[in-house]
Chains A and B, each alone.
Chain A
Amino acid sequence: MNKFKLGYGAGVILLAILAAAGAGALVLTAVGASPIATYVTIFTGPLKDLFGVTEILVRAVPLILVALGIAISFRSGIINIGAEGQMLMGILAATAVALALPGLPHGLLLPLVLLAGALGGGLWAGIAGILRARLGVNEILSTVMLNYIAAQLYTFLLRGPMIDPGELETGSGTPQSMRLPHSAWLGRLVPGTRLHTGLLLALVLAVVVYFLLWRTTWGFRLRAAGAEAKAARYAGISVERSLVVAMVLSGAFAGLAGAVELTGVHHRAIENISSGYGFSGIVVALFGALHPAGIVPAAVFFGLLLVGADMTQRSAGVPANMILVLQGVIILVIVSAKMYLNNAYAQERVRRLLARLAPAKSQGGLS
């Protein structure tokens, strides 16, 4: 029985990898690139030197933070698709605080800035939470719509009120904020690379989220409300409050991801700063089984994909858009494969098929 399950799982994963590789190869061949060379570059290129490895981790940091928030919301029965917008709101709040209080010492300003980021994201998500709890507004709709609003607000502020005065003087008009004071920067973890101490924060928070969800009364309430709202209500848990709390927490993690990206990598608010992390984070969370212990490795894997894709673009001459297509294919295949992994019906069907194909063998080999 267990042998069968193990074999089944391995089979599904193998098939998924083959399917992803095959579909990707088609795309790559269509644009005239060598599939094998491209794959080799994606998966080994970033691991060849220290710089590549640190870049993977640089990308993993915001992915971990966003995915932790997503895990909280999904586990609590409310679906947050708005991490992208929440990140932007977090970045705006963090930038505003950092620029408003440049005189504060590092030990005070940095925590304040990160807190502002979390607050910005949390409040923005809270709108969707309250709309759902009070008026029953579907949170998928509201969070997606809030993404648009946040994106426009972000652009407006960076082009107008928050634009770096220097840009106006020189007349270049790049939509970006002033550089943050050094006292608001995260420290470098490995000198000479972009890897910053945000990684440590993300890892600590992964542990915190595990404790929050599985070891505290708060987490018990959130998970109960998410797993079976009817039973939670029966047990005296306020499901509406739980939804709002979950959404605010989830947004706070996205906002913090933005603030960490801001203070750790870019040091100023620029356009496209979120790089789609708000969406990739959802995939990372699902890929990591909505559990911190799965999310951290999943984020590193996606970091590898992202960095590898960048490298391919440079070395293998594959157009950037094709890399995005490839990523999309890989994500689709992985998520589909996960559905098959835990599907008892699919397992039963495969078992029957095997039994029909080799009746004698299956008796001995699989039971």
Chain B
Amino acid sequence: MHTAVEPITELKLAGITKRFPGILACNNIAMEIRRGEVLALVGENGAGKSTLMNILAGLYQPDAGTITVNGQPVRFHDPNDAYARGIGMVHQNFMLVPNMTVAENVALGLRKFHRFMNLDLDGARRLMIEVAARHELPVNPDAYVWQLSVGEQQRVELVKTLCFGAQLLILDEPTSALTPQETDDLIDRLKRMSAELAIIFISHKLNEVKSLSHRVAILRHGAVVFNGVTADHSSADLAALMTGREVVLPRNEGLDLGGAAILSARKLKVRGDRGHLALDGLELTLHAGEILGLAGVSGNGQRELAEALTGLRPVESGAVTFLDRDMTNRSPAAMIGAGLGYIPEDRHHEGIVPSFSVKENLVLKDFATRRFSAGCLLRLREIARNAARLKDQYDIRCSSTSAAGGSLSGGNIQKVILARELAREPKALVAVYPTRGVDMGAQEFIHSQLLARRRAGGGVLLISEELEEIMNLSDRIAVIYKGRILKVLPSLEATRERLGLLMAGVADE
């Protein structure tokens, strides 16, 4: 199945330079990786990691520099060239066709199953199932991609790339969407797989970098600032090298601010996109002045819960109560008006309108208020002033607040959403995977903002798969499993192991 290309024993990058308008994305980068080795590539958002890997995967052409495989210079004109040489990349933003099944998505890129007018879907399906089984990546070949959670889609991407015969695997933040168990699994598997592969692993999570990689390269502002053996350096050292300063993620100080119940779900039954009961009698209460962490493996009803609470998904039975009022099946506008904030999972297409400017996105919910409009006329000057203020306050990095929201990096898009939601001073905030895929600096900032909201008396429902994030920030932790809350426990009593078991559906006691 793996076509007979010469195995990659050594790959070298030398003098790689890539310039975009106004930005030097990669500045004279040199790097090498051997078979049997895991190289971690770390750096903040916008440090040039993705650009560098896109060059290696044939998506971009470098302005200068050379790539050599086994001592022979190669040139990749497009991703097919790179694939033909055994270089496969799993992108951070998935490259899947939503209205096709998993098997069809895999078959799409496998030329050998395309015979004239005939597509050997069964062959592709068999190959896929085999590869998936070998690497313990459970995927349903007949599910449509749009029905899958982000975590499941990530697995499909991995299987797909392996099916293409990748020998050098580039993983762009592969764990950002995975649960802790899945992450541990993946890391174990990658360790085993690295014996016969070369793996470049991009991550913001230094504990993963520490446990998986043999060597680590750190990029800052498009240049390699550090390149060395992972075992010789502590996580704190690496974090400091990455950001150029010391980073300490803030923690919940733990003082009970104990407030009244503000947002609650009673016996909530909600259907998912596939028509199944995604929430099956869920009970949950959020209090003022607390961060309630919702831990769980993705696809257990988190998205449906967030959408039911915010009015975006119809509730079949049960009740949503917000500030002592029954708000079951009220419109999103009603929930927003009542003071509910929401940081959605899909920040690129739900959290912002990508073609709208940053300043328009910052008033997406409030453009019709008296502050930003007079009658039906928008007060453009006030909208611009608001944007300038929030840009400074939330350290949103964009060339101008007139730039399209979609042109920002993921971390900065998240800051736009955070700024908009927090500036409205919500009574309760539903935050779904708020730091997924953002760098350490931004993560620190988002965490401290959520804690500030808590101190100001707001309630935060923090839905996350990052156990560390949940344990650092939460007062209480609820574990969701198959559409129900399996257990709610005080943060102090939670350990990784205990939460891990609960997330797997094993109720203690």
- A residues touching B (Cβ–Cβ < 8 Å)? 1, 215-218, 220-221, 223-224, 227-228, 230-238, 348, 352
Contacts and interface: CB of A to CB of B under 8 A. Distances in A.
15 contacts: A216-B377, A217-B373, A217-B376, A217-B378, A220-B378, A228-B353, A230-B350, A231-B351, A231-B353, A231-B364, A234-B310, A235-B332, A235-B365, A348-B61, A352-B61
B368 A217 contact: yes
B256 to A, nearest CB: 33
A236 B365 contact: yes
A222 to B, nearest CB: 12
B355 to A, nearest CB: 5
Interface stretch (B275-283, B314-322, B341-349): B341-349
Given A227-B356, A234-B344, A238-B331, A217 B367 contact: yes
Contacts of B310: 234
Interface residues of B, number: 32
Contacts of B21: 1
A234 B356 contact: no
B380 A227 contact: no
Nearest to A225: B353
B332 A234 contact: yes
B336 interface: yes
Contacts of B377: 215-217
A232 B344 CA distance: 13
Contacts, number: 72
Contact of A228 (B336, B355, B365): B355
A75 B357 CA distance: 15
B352 interface: yes
Nearest to A219: B378
Contacts of B352: 228, 231
A100 B390 CA distance: 59
A233 B332 contact: yes
A223 B356 CA distance: 9
Given A216-B378, A217-B378, A228-B353, 6 more contacts: A220-B360, A220-B367, A231-B352, A231-B353, A231-B364, A352-B61
Contacts of A1: 21
B507 interface: no
Contacts of A217: 367-368, 373, 376-378
Contacts of A220: 360, 367-368, 378
B367 A236 contact: no
Contact of B349 (A218, A230, A236): A230
B387 to A, nearest CB: 14
Given A220-B367, A224-B353, A224-B364, A230 B346 contact: yes
Contacts of B423: none
B333 interface: yes
Contacts of A234: 310, 312, 332, 342, 344, 350-351
B79 interface: no
Nearest to B21: A1
A228 B405 CA distance: 12
Nearest to A1: B21
A232 B337 CA distance: 15
Given A215-B378, A217-B367, A236 B333 contact: yes
Nearest to B60: A348
A227 B349 CA distance: 10
Nearest to A211: B377
A217 B378 CA distance: 6
Contact of A232 (B61, B346, B353): B353
Contacts of A236: 331-337, 365
Interface in B374-413: 376-378, 380
B376 A216 contact: yes
Contact of A231 (B331, B336, B337, B349): B349
B404 to A, nearest CB: 10
Contacts of B344: 234
A217 B376 CA distance: 5
A234 B365 CA distance: 9
A215 B372 CA distance: 11
A113 B101 CA distance: 55
Nearest to A214: B378
B326 to A, nearest CB: 19
A248 B356 CA distance: 24
A1 B377 CA distance: 38
A233 B336 CA distance: 11
Top 7 nearest A-B pairs (CB, nearest first) are A236-B333, A228-B353, A235-B364, A231-B353, A217-B368, A236-B336, A236-B332
Nearest to B366: A235
Nearest to A231: B353
Contact of A233 (B312, B354, B356): B312
A352 B58 CA distance: 13
Nearest to B374: A217
A139 B158 CA distance: 39
A237 B331 CA distance: 9
B149 to A, nearest CB: 16
A230 B351 CA distance: 9
Contacts of B351: 231, 234
A232 B333 CA distance: 10
Contacts of B364: 224, 231, 235
B349 A228 contact: yes
A1 B21 CA distance: 7
B376 A218 contact: yes
A320 B134 CA distance: 68
A224 B349 CA distance: 11
B354 A228 contact: yes
Most buried by A among B21, B337, B353: B353
Contact of B353 (A215, A218, A227, A348): A227
A181 B12 CA distance: 84
Contacts of A232: 353
A26 to B, nearest CB: 33
A228 B336 CA distance: 19
Nearest to A351: B61
A237 B311 CA distance: 12
A163 to B, nearest CB: 44
Most buried by A among B310, B342, B378: B378
Contacts of A231: 349-354, 364
B332 A227 contact: no
Contacts of B355: 227-228
Contacts of B349: 228, 230-231
B36 to A, nearest CB: 35
A227 B357 CA distance: 12
A352 B77 CA distance: 10
Contacts of A221: 368
A215 B380 contact: yes
Nearest to A367: B19
Nearest to A237: B333
Contacts of B335: 236
Interface in B289-321: 310, 312
Contacts of B333: 236-238
B354 A227 contact: yes
Contacts of B353: 224, 227-228, 231-232
A1 B337 CA distance: 46
Contacts of B367: 217, 220
A220 B363 CA distance: 10
A217 B350 CA distance: 20
Nearest to B354: A228
A354 to B, nearest CB: 12
A215 B312 CA distance: 28
Most buried by B among A227, A231, A348: A231
A263 to B, nearest CB: 29
B232 to A, nearest CB: 40
